[in-house]
Amino acid sequence: MVQADGADEGCVTFVLHEEDHTLGNSLRYMVMKNLDVDFCGYSITHPSESKINFRIQTRGGVPAVEPLRRGLNELTDVCQHVLNTFQRRVTEFRSQQEDVMD
């Protein structure tokens, strides 16, 4: 679940529920690569709560939701690439182990 708060659509704090540093830091990195982003950061409100406040400030009238979406999509692509590479290497390793056993 995501909640957004901001009077200016170029400066918005998104509240991401059921998330922590794992998503927060990775997503911050992906969003900061966008040249339209002036600032991106996140905070965890309290250690016992599993939500983060994720703030994006953009320039040039770009709505903050656009870099957020782009960052999420790029992070998904990176994670999928890592998963595919890992699975391919595991399959190759198992194949090599079977050849050694024969």
Domain regions of the chain by residue span: 11-101
CB neighbours of residue 72 within 10 Å? 15
Q: What confidence tier does 1 reach under pLDDT thresholds 50, 70, 90? A: low
- Please report the beta strands in 20-99, taking only residues with DSSP state E, as ranges in sequence order: 37-44, 51-58
- Which strand (E) or helix (H) includes residue 70? helix 65-101
What pLDDT score does 3 carry? Answer: 67
Q: What is the mean pLDDT of residues 51-58?
A: 95
Which CATH fold topology does 11-101 show? Gyrase A; domain 2 (3.30.1360)
Examine the pLDDT at 53 and tell me if it is beyond 80: yes
Q: What is the pTM of this model?
A: 0.85
Q: Transcribe 16-45 into DSSP letters.
A: EET--HHHHHHHHHHHHTSTTEEEEEEEES
